[in-house]
Chain A
């Protein structure tokens, strides 16, 4: 089945130790998104790519960066994780042919910062 895959599902890191989360998709979608979701809150968009075009949200901290080396893969790098960065990180895709309204989410990576 075509899907969005995130690895790892659970990630534990230490305060200030860089961490990379990965996302891959077999849907061949043009658009990929990274969201941060904290407990009982809405998903908060960090970045999105339309093909290779990178779009950063104005309030995304500089500590967060992203790479999309090809259509299938996208990475989220957190350069110096703080305690406040502990959250669920969701990757999503959409075809990019009409509207962003139907997005396909991966299972998420739950990040713990010690």
Chain B
């Protein structure tokens, strides 16, 4: 089947670095995206990896390893406003849709 697994919750201190992991199981895979969602808000796109390696966008970076069926989102210089839920989402087959992971709730403490 197609599924993406993430830790349910991560806590980190303001200014620190945190890594949110995502592992996936699928028979076909085209790419991995990351979305941020604040409480009561809509998901917003953060980054996308089609190829293995690291993609950097400001304080956020995303990594993909196809051989390991694994990716992660790295958040640096954490700010209080980064407290939110983070979802990985996989483009898993030839259809034009994403499968969302279970989501990780990030709590940034002062």
B42 touches A99 (CB 8 A): no
Interface size classification for chain A: 20 to 34
Interface size classification for chain B: 20 to 34
A50, CB-defined interface residue at 8 Å:
yes
Chain B window 36-47, contacts with chain A (Cβ cutoff 8 Å), 1 for yes, 0 for no: 000001111100
The CA-CA distance from A92 to B35 in the complex, in Å, is 13
A50 touches B96 (CB 8 A): yes
Chain A window 94-114, contacts with chain B (Cβ cutoff 8 Å), 1 for yes, 0 for no: 101001111111111000000
Q: How far apart are A77's CB and chain B's nearest CB, in angstroms? A: 20
Chain B residues within CB distance 8 Å of chain A: 30-31, 33, 41-45, 48, 50, 87, 89, 91, 95-103, 105
The 6 closest A-B CB pairs, nearest first, are A105-B42, A42-B100, A101-B48, A101-B33, A102-B45, A100-B96
